[in-house]
Structure 1
Amino acid sequence: MTWLITGGAGYIGAHVVRAMTGAGERAVVYDDLSSGVAARLPKGVPLVVGSTLDADRLASALAEHGITGVVHLAAKKQVGESVERPLHYYRENIEGLRILLERATAAGVGSFVLSSSAAVYGMPDVDLVTEETPCVPLSPYGETKLAGEWLVRATGRATGLSTACLRYFNVAGAASPELADTGVHNLIPMVFEKLTEHAAPRIFGDDYATPDGTCVRDYIHVTDLAEAHVAAARALRSSPGRSLTLNIGTGTGVSVREMIDRVNAVTGHDLPPVVGPRRPGDPARVVASADRITAELGWKARHDVQDMIASAWQGWLRLHPWAARDHGPERNAQDTR
């Protein structure tokens, strides 16, 4: 098969491209490069620069490269921005998906993997979030992910398209430094940024009903996440008409305070966090049940939090080499793996 990977030059997308090609699958990347980086792509992987809102460009790419499956990662993904710009998020994430599905089914594509999110669940009041946990998203971003799932599954039922909706939990780490997350919107790079500035990391609320009072989350290594895409893509190929909705997580929670302590240890810093007020909408605990994906696909996460932090730090140092001057974190990151 030949897979069109939208958003394939992004942080997660580039890992998915490498995992797919490493598994012997043929990949073509479709990316508008608004946040993606072409240099992340392996040699020999074609890049089509375009938006999912451009129906003609999509149709041309699908036909020219003989696409038989799609992995759709391209989307806007900042929760706060989605609250400020809901129309923009619905246009990019829902209308872009609708056009892509329309063009893909017209081109005879047989399999479709959607990048979804744990944001579809909102504030679940359960120890482990299963795929049956009610979805009550708290932001326009989460709403677009849930509506996107509905659209993908409805298209599958109507056309026979095989579909998989993969609900990611908190993604971190890097397969290699050049593939590291360049943004500072997730916890680990946010802590790196503070430590690099010799400033204390921030905790938003320490009065939650959790063991240490701080929020608990499920962190998944981006390499494991990429391998889950390979497993899902192959499952769809072997079972026409199949429909999957799967959590991608570890089933283990780590608190914000614990994560900051671990980042300090890996990087060689010793800056205790400062505690501020809660952020609106932050649930106390969101941890995945990963039982279904193990049963359906035989997939299970292989990397732990230490791997995530150490690999992410090496990527951070590649972009911010001065961060290593005072503490020798390159040595520390390697010694603590």
Structure 2
Amino acid sequence: MFLHEHKAIHLQGGMAVFRQAMTIRMAPGIKGRRYTQGDFKPLSVHYRERRFQVHVMVEFASLGLAKIASALGLVLDYFSLGRVRFLHRYFADRRELVERATTAESYRRIVERLGNPVQISAVGAPVEHNLLILAGPGAGKTTVIVHRCAYLLQVERIPARQILVLCFNHNAAVTLRQRLFALVGNHARGLTVVTYHGAAMRLAGISVRDALEQARSGPQAAEPIDFDGIIKDALRLLKGNIEIPGAEPDILRDQLLGGYSHILVDEYQDIDQDQYDLVSAIAGRTLADKEKRLAIMAVGDDDQNIYGFRGANVASSASFRRTIRSSRSSWWRTTAPAATSSAPPTS
């Protein structure tokens, strides 16, 4: 109505909208990019918000029929209270409505505030999709991992215990965990953020203390802990190459993974062959039953590899593209900053 009164558009009986011709120019880096379901996620949030506002207007009318002062109080609260407080004051008995509106608020905070179409599309992608994102330094790769975790936790309501995040080293794991807690607070409790060796030790049932004691008690006490050997042991367990009496390989795999449904991998270009095999085994890429596979997101820079001396190989990114290629997989290549460019995702 505001636009109509200022003659920017013309409304005819509320049934049709007439406007002058409009020219839309795509920002550099967006033109030619194929859009995914993640790009259209803001639309569903928009319409969800509109439905919520209809409920607010119904509540306003109901209160006004009984007492106009109550209806005016609702209006004041709508514009002055925080969203969550407003919901619990007027819609506490309608849990589904409260949940939808709270999810919409979380979406705006976690996804829309990124302000980057490529990051928004990746973070808000359907939960079952597999994604590989290649970007240069400073493009916000770890930001995508952090916000994807937050999205799974608060928007899609995936339990924290079902999410596994793999980082290249301990410092990266600590930093990522701190950023995630800063974004979603206690909702991140129960989330597993570990290094590749940490994940292997969990799978093999070995603690750092156990490994140290084993090294000290061995025939060569000065020998360093064979962490790479622990990764190989974890691989054999996941692949069913180690026979455990009374445990079928498939059942053992489910028990080892503890109900994980999503795996996120940071700095993917720095992993070596054993670590690549571990990621593939955890995600279930080699399983014939696709329903048992975990949804995976990996980010990396295939033009930068600082750990070549220890066997790290950017070919893992190419292998990942080949392995996850299916109707529910996508990959992007972006340049720094990520807001400026993206290539068409290959599905």
Give the TM-score taking structure 2 as reference length.
0.26
More strand per residue:
1
After TM superposition, the score normalised by the length of structure 1 is 0.26
**Structure showing greater relative contact order (alpha-carbon pairs closer than 8 Å, 6 or more residues apart):** 2
